Amino acid sequence: MQIISPPKIITGLYHSLEWKMPACSQKKIYLSFDDGPTPSVTDFVLNELNKMNAKATFFCIGVNIEKHKELFRELIAEGHQVGNHTQHHLNGWKTCTEKYVQDIEACKEAIGQNGYEHQGKLLFRPPYGKITRQQIKAVKSEYRIVMWSILSYDWLPERHTGQCLNNVVSHLKNDAVVVMHDSLKASVIIKKTLPSLLQICKDKGYELGII
């Protein structure tokens, strides 16, 4: 079974992480794209967001930023927000805290050296959503650790057409943080899903904001 919204027991246990955005008076949701930048996927996402005049947050992997600098700069130039997703997409549960923090630092350097200036406290999302309590403690003074309220499962093959779109739309509500991926693994599903999702968000009157 796909767990689309994290259960309260998890969000309660890890309450120092951000699972949704604070309530605001506007109808607003927050799209996020993890694991890029990836040629032919990130450009597609940027183009679709641009058509709708929508902004999103991209949790980038440091090595991908270094490999695809132009694409990263394009993402910044279009006014999207960037968050840290480690340099090598590390699984926190399988990595010691010292190495984990170093890898986050390397990603921070890749982000800064390629022209991104962040407003306010930096953003971090742990790859696979896996981070230990010790790592949280080590990271949280410098970063807002942003999780999600809706997991799209865009990286898995659909069991029926429109499954990914339905995962998101059926859980959409104000202040939701949606996770999608601008990765090769998700490219087929994201190309099918994102245009319809953006249209539905617009039709439902949601503004798409940055975290």
Q: Give the x-and-dash track for 29-68 against Zn ion (CB under 5 A).
A: -----xx---------------------------------
Asked if 103 touches Zn ion (CB under 5 A), the answer is no
Residue closer to Zn ion, measured from CB, 54 or 60: 60
Q: Give the C-alpha separation, 204 to 189, whole Å.
A: 22
**124, 87 contact by CB (below 8 A):** no
**186, 155 contact by CB (below 8 A):** yes
The residue range among 18-26, 99-107, 126-134, 193-201 that interacts with Zn ion, by the rule CB under 5 A, is 126-134
Q: Is 12 left (phi over 0), alpha (psi -120 to 50) or beta?
A: alpha
Q: Encoding tokens for residue 94?
A: 């399988």
Residue closer to Zn ion, measured from CB, 75 or 206: 75
The residue range among 46-54, 102-110, 124-132, 166-174 that interacts with Zn ion, by the rule CB under 5 A, is 124-132
**61, 210 contact by CB (below 8 A):** no
- For residue 85, the cross-strand partners are none
For the bound state, the minimum distance from the C-beta of residue 33 to Zn ion, rounded and expressed in Å, comes to 10
Asked if 182 touches Zn ion (CB under 5 A), the answer is no
For the bound state, the minimum distance from the C-beta of residue 101 to Zn ion, rounded and expressed in Å, comes to 18
Q: Taken in order 163, 8, 142, 134, is the CA torsion positive or negative?
A: negative
Asked if 127 touches Zn ion (CB under 5 A), the answer is yes
**Residues making contact with Zn ion (CB under 5 A):** 34-35, 127
